Amino acid sequence: MEKLSVVIITLNEEKNIQRCIESISRIADEVIVLDSFSTDKTQEICESLGAKFVQHKFDGHIQQKNRALQLAKNKWVLSLDADELPDEILLNNIIKVLEDPKADAYYFNRLTNYIGQWIRHSAWYPDRKLRLLKKSKGKWAGMNPHDKIEMQKDAKLEYLKGDLLHYSYYSIEQHIAQINLFSSIGAKEAFKKGRKSNLAIAILKSLWRFIRNYIFKLGFLDGYYGLVICSLTAWENYIKYLKIRELHKSSLKNLKH
Protein backbone atom coordinates (compact mmCIF):
# COMPACT_ATOMS: atom_id res chain seq x y z
CA MET A 1 0.00 0.00 0.00
CA GLU A 2 1.33 3.45 -0.96
CA LYS A 3 2.07 5.89 1.84
CA LEU A 4 0.17 9.18 1.83
CA SER A 5 1.13 12.68 2.92
CA VAL A 6 -1.72 15.09 3.66
CA VAL A 7 -0.78 18.78 3.36
CA ILE A 8 -2.89 21.67 4.65
CA ILE A 9 -2.26 25.43 4.64
CA THR A 10 -3.69 27.47 7.51
CA LEU A 11 -4.20 30.91 8.99
CA ASN A 12 -6.26 31.12 12.18
CA GLU A 13 -8.16 27.90 11.55
CA GLU A 14 -8.87 26.78 15.13
CA LYS A 15 -12.55 26.40 14.21
CA ASN A 16 -11.88 23.90 11.40
CA ILE A 17 -8.48 22.25 11.68
CA GLN A 18 -9.25 19.54 14.23
CA ARG A 19 -12.15 18.21 12.18
CA CYS A 20 -9.97 18.20 9.06
CA ILE A 21 -7.01 16.35 10.63
CA GLU A 22 -9.18 13.80 12.44
CA SER A 23 -11.08 13.03 9.23
CA ILE A 24 -7.95 11.76 7.46
CA SER A 25 -6.35 9.93 10.38
CA ARG A 26 -7.16 6.54 8.77
CA ILE A 27 -5.31 7.29 5.54
CA ALA A 28 -2.52 9.74 6.40
CA ASP A 29 0.99 8.48 7.07
CA GLU A 30 2.00 12.07 7.74
CA VAL A 31 0.09 15.34 8.12
CA ILE A 32 1.91 18.57 7.32
CA VAL A 33 0.37 21.92 8.23
CA LEU A 34 1.99 24.97 6.64
CA ASP A 35 0.80 27.94 8.64
CA SER A 36 0.96 31.69 7.94
CA PHE A 37 1.67 32.68 11.56
CA SER A 38 -1.74 32.10 13.12
CA THR A 39 -2.56 34.03 16.29
CA ASP A 40 -5.24 31.64 17.56
CA LYS A 41 -4.96 28.01 18.78
CA THR A 42 -4.21 26.50 15.34
CA GLN A 43 -0.66 25.46 16.26
CA GLU A 44 -1.68 23.98 19.61
CA ILE A 45 -4.44 21.90 18.01
CA CYS A 46 -2.25 20.66 15.14
CA GLU A 47 0.59 19.60 17.39
CA SER A 48 -1.77 17.88 19.83
CA LEU A 49 -3.01 15.76 16.91
CA GLY A 50 0.50 14.79 15.81
CA ALA A 51 0.74 16.98 12.72
CA LYS A 52 4.06 18.42 11.58
CA PHE A 53 3.61 22.17 12.01
CA VAL A 54 5.68 24.54 9.84
CA GLN A 55 5.34 28.31 9.47
CA HIS A 56 6.09 30.55 6.50
CA LYS A 57 4.95 34.05 5.60
CA PHE A 58 1.99 33.96 3.21
CA ASP A 59 2.95 35.20 -0.26
CA GLY A 60 0.05 33.83 -2.31
CA HIS A 61 -2.19 30.76 -2.36
CA ILE A 62 -0.31 29.13 -5.24
CA GLN A 63 3.09 29.80 -3.71
CA GLN A 64 2.08 28.56 -0.26
CA LYS A 65 0.42 25.39 -1.54
CA ASN A 66 3.41 24.50 -3.70
CA ARG A 67 5.62 25.04 -0.67
CA ALA A 68 3.43 22.64 1.34
CA LEU A 69 3.55 20.12 -1.50
CA GLN A 70 7.36 20.12 -1.44
CA LEU A 71 7.38 19.47 2.31
CA ALA A 72 5.66 16.11 1.80
CA LYS A 73 8.05 13.16 2.08
CA ASN A 74 5.78 10.58 0.41
CA LYS A 75 5.16 9.99 -3.29
CA TRP A 76 1.40 10.41 -2.94
CA VAL A 77 -0.09 13.64 -1.60
CA LEU A 78 -3.60 14.73 -0.68
CA SER A 79 -3.88 18.52 -0.54
CA LEU A 80 -6.69 19.94 1.60
CA ASP A 81 -7.87 23.26 2.93
CA ALA A 82 -8.49 23.39 6.67
CA ASP A 83 -12.26 23.64 6.13
CA GLU A 84 -12.43 20.47 4.00
CA LEU A 85 -12.68 16.74 4.69
CA PRO A 86 -13.48 13.64 2.62
CA ASP A 87 -16.80 11.92 3.22
CA GLU A 88 -16.87 8.18 3.95
CA ILE A 89 -17.31 7.15 0.30
CA LEU A 90 -14.39 9.28 -0.86
CA LEU A 91 -12.24 8.14 2.06
CA ASN A 92 -12.77 4.47 1.16
CA ASN A 93 -12.04 5.16 -2.52
CA ILE A 94 -8.78 6.93 -1.61
CA ILE A 95 -7.78 3.83 0.37
CA LYS A 96 -8.46 1.68 -2.72
CA VAL A 97 -6.27 3.99 -4.81
CA LEU A 98 -3.41 3.72 -2.33
CA GLU A 99 -3.71 -0.07 -2.42
CA ASP A 100 -3.47 -0.16 -6.22
CA PRO A 101 -2.97 3.17 -8.04
CA LYS A 102 -4.06 3.12 -11.68
CA ALA A 103 -3.52 6.80 -12.46
CA ASP A 104 -1.21 9.69 -11.57
CA ALA A 105 -3.89 11.91 -10.04
CA TYR A 106 -7.52 11.79 -9.00
CA TYR A 107 -10.27 14.38 -8.91
CA PHE A 108 -13.63 14.35 -7.16
CA ASN A 109 -16.63 16.54 -6.39
CA ARG A 110 -16.63 19.13 -3.61
CA LEU A 111 -19.88 19.69 -1.74
CA THR A 112 -20.11 23.00 0.12
CA ASN A 113 -21.91 23.72 3.37
CA TYR A 114 -23.02 27.35 3.49
CA ILE A 115 -24.24 28.59 6.90
CA GLY A 116 -25.49 25.09 7.75
CA GLN A 117 -27.03 24.21 4.35
CA TRP A 118 -25.53 21.89 1.74
CA ILE A 119 -25.48 23.69 -1.61
CA ARG A 120 -26.18 21.34 -4.53
CA HIS A 121 -26.57 23.88 -7.34
CA SER A 122 -25.71 27.59 -7.84
CA ALA A 123 -22.53 26.63 -9.79
CA TRP A 124 -21.13 25.33 -6.49
CA TYR A 125 -21.83 21.65 -7.16
CA PRO A 126 -20.42 19.52 -8.60
CA ASP A 127 -17.30 21.57 -7.94
CA ARG A 128 -14.64 19.16 -9.20
CA LYS A 129 -11.25 19.36 -7.52
CA LEU A 130 -8.02 17.56 -8.33
CA ARG A 131 -6.37 17.03 -4.94
CA LEU A 132 -4.87 13.53 -4.83
CA LEU A 133 -1.71 13.17 -6.90
CA LYS A 134 1.76 11.80 -7.35
CA LYS A 135 3.90 14.65 -6.10
CA SER A 136 6.34 14.34 -9.01
CA LYS A 137 3.61 14.72 -11.63
CA GLY A 138 1.92 18.02 -10.76
CA LYS A 139 2.05 21.41 -9.06
CA TRP A 140 -0.24 24.27 -8.08
CA ALA A 141 -0.88 26.89 -10.78
CA GLY A 142 -3.74 29.07 -12.03
CA MET A 143 -4.26 32.65 -10.86
CA ASN A 144 -4.49 33.72 -7.21
CA PRO A 145 -6.72 33.34 -5.32
CA HIS A 146 -8.33 30.70 -7.58
CA ASP A 147 -5.54 28.16 -7.63
CA LYS A 148 -5.64 24.70 -9.18
CA ILE A 149 -3.35 21.72 -9.60
CA GLU A 150 -1.91 21.31 -13.09
CA MET A 151 -0.50 17.93 -14.09
CA GLN A 152 2.18 17.09 -16.60
CA LYS A 153 0.88 16.42 -20.11
CA ASP A 154 1.54 12.69 -19.92
CA ALA A 155 -0.21 12.28 -16.56
CA LYS A 156 -3.21 9.96 -16.34
CA LEU A 157 -6.25 11.30 -14.44
CA GLU A 158 -9.22 9.43 -13.01
CA TYR A 159 -12.41 10.41 -11.19
CA LEU A 160 -13.26 9.15 -7.70
CA LYS A 161 -16.78 8.83 -6.33
CA GLY A 162 -17.58 10.55 -3.06
CA ASP A 163 -17.56 14.18 -1.96
CA LEU A 164 -14.99 16.46 -0.46
CA LEU A 165 -17.06 18.22 2.20
CA HIS A 166 -16.36 21.95 2.36
CA TYR A 167 -17.49 23.97 5.39
CA SER A 168 -17.14 27.34 3.72
CA TYR A 169 -18.88 30.16 5.56
CA TYR A 170 -20.57 30.39 8.93
CA SER A 171 -22.17 33.79 8.28
CA ILE A 172 -22.97 36.18 5.42
CA GLU A 173 -20.66 38.71 7.08
CA GLN A 174 -17.76 36.25 6.79
CA HIS A 175 -18.60 35.67 3.11
CA ILE A 176 -18.64 39.42 2.39
CA ALA A 177 -15.26 39.89 4.10
CA GLN A 178 -13.81 37.08 1.98
CA ILE A 179 -15.27 38.63 -1.16
CA ASN A 180 -13.49 41.90 -0.45
CA LEU A 181 -10.20 40.08 0.10
CA PHE A 182 -10.47 37.73 -2.89
CA SER A 183 -11.68 40.44 -5.30
CA SER A 184 -8.63 42.54 -4.40
CA ILE A 185 -6.24 39.62 -4.93
CA GLY A 186 -7.98 38.67 -8.19
CA ALA A 187 -7.92 42.26 -9.47
CA LYS A 188 -4.20 42.63 -8.76
CA GLU A 189 -3.39 39.35 -10.49
CA ALA A 190 -5.55 40.28 -13.52
CA PHE A 191 -3.94 43.73 -13.69
CA LYS A 192 -0.46 42.15 -13.69
CA LYS A 193 -1.52 40.06 -16.70
CA GLY A 194 -2.64 43.19 -18.57
CA ARG A 195 -6.40 42.82 -18.27
CA LYS A 196 -8.47 45.99 -18.54
CA SER A 197 -11.94 46.92 -17.36
CA ASN A 198 -14.58 49.65 -17.39
CA LEU A 199 -17.99 50.16 -15.82
CA ALA A 200 -19.85 48.47 -18.70
CA ILE A 201 -17.67 45.37 -18.45
CA ALA A 202 -18.17 45.24 -14.68
CA ILE A 203 -21.97 45.47 -15.00
CA LEU A 204 -22.34 43.02 -17.88
CA LYS A 205 -20.02 40.38 -16.46
CA SER A 206 -21.62 40.47 -13.01
CA LEU A 207 -25.15 40.41 -14.49
CA TRP A 208 -24.28 37.40 -16.63
CA ARG A 209 -22.70 35.67 -13.62
CA PHE A 210 -25.94 36.03 -11.66
CA ILE A 211 -28.16 34.84 -14.54
CA ARG A 212 -25.89 31.88 -15.26
CA ASN A 213 -25.66 30.73 -11.65
CA TYR A 214 -29.22 31.41 -10.52
CA ILE A 215 -31.10 30.33 -13.67
CA PHE A 216 -28.93 28.03 -15.79
CA LYS A 217 -27.02 26.49 -12.86
CA LEU A 218 -30.31 26.10 -10.93
CA GLY A 219 -29.35 28.29 -7.99
CA PHE A 220 -33.04 28.92 -7.31
CA LEU A 221 -33.32 25.28 -6.19
CA ASP A 222 -31.05 26.09 -3.23
CA GLY A 223 -33.72 28.41 -1.85
CA TYR A 224 -32.86 31.52 0.15
CA TYR A 225 -29.14 30.75 0.39
CA GLY A 226 -29.05 30.00 -3.31
CA LEU A 227 -30.21 33.56 -3.95
CA VAL A 228 -27.68 34.91 -1.44
CA ILE A 229 -24.80 32.95 -2.99
CA CYS A 230 -25.65 33.89 -6.58
CA SER A 231 -26.07 37.57 -5.64
CA LEU A 232 -22.81 37.75 -3.70
CA THR A 233 -20.91 35.83 -6.40
CA ALA A 234 -22.12 38.37 -8.97
CA TRP A 235 -21.17 41.19 -6.60
CA GLU A 236 -17.67 39.77 -6.20
CA ASN A 237 -17.29 39.76 -9.98
CA TYR A 238 -18.56 43.35 -10.17
CA ILE A 239 -16.19 44.80 -7.59
CA LYS A 240 -13.24 42.82 -8.97
CA TYR A 241 -13.67 44.52 -12.36
CA LEU A 242 -14.12 47.91 -10.68
CA LYS A 243 -10.87 47.32 -8.80
CA ILE A 244 -9.10 46.42 -12.06
CA ARG A 245 -10.35 49.72 -13.48
CA GLU A 246 -9.06 51.63 -10.45
CA LEU A 247 -5.65 49.97 -10.71
CA HIS A 248 -5.37 51.08 -14.35
CA LYS A 249 -6.41 54.64 -13.49
CA SER A 250 -3.84 54.72 -10.70
CA SER A 251 -1.07 53.40 -12.96
CA LEU A 252 -1.84 56.04 -15.60
CA LYS A 253 -1.66 58.80 -12.98
CA ASN A 254 1.70 57.50 -11.83
CA LEU A 255 2.99 57.51 -15.41
CA LYS A 256 1.95 61.15 -15.86
CA HIS A 257 3.85 62.11 -12.75
In order along its 257 residues, the chain shows pLDDT tens digits of 999 999 999 999 999 999 999 999 999 999 999 999 999 999 999 999 999 999 999 999 999 999 999 999 999 999 999 999 999 999 999 999 999 999 999 999 999 999 999 999 999 999 999 999 999 999 999 988 889 999 999 999 999 999 999 999 999 999 999 999 999 999 999 999 999 999 999 999 999 999 999 999 999 999 999 999 999 999 999 999 999 999 998 888 777 66
pLDDT at 122: 97
Q: What is the CA radius of gyration of the chain?
A: 19
Beta-strand (E) ranges in 50-195?
52-55, 76-81, 84-86, 105-114, 117-119, 127-134, 138-143, 146-151, 157-169
Enumerate residues 6+ apart whose C-beta is below 8 A from 26. 91, 95
DSSP run (H or E) holding 254: helix 223-256
Question: Which amino acid, 60?
Answer: G
Residue 21 CA to residue 24 CA, distance in Å, equals 6
Q: How far apart are the first and last CA of the chain?
A: 64
pLDDT at 246: 94
pLDDT at 256: 67
pLDDT at 257: 60
pLDDT at 144: 87
pLDDT at 59: 93
Residue 232 CA to residue 238 CA, distance in Å, equals 10
pLDDT at 153: 95
pLDDT at 253: 75
Chain centroid to Cα 240, Å, comes to 18
pLDDT at 31: 98
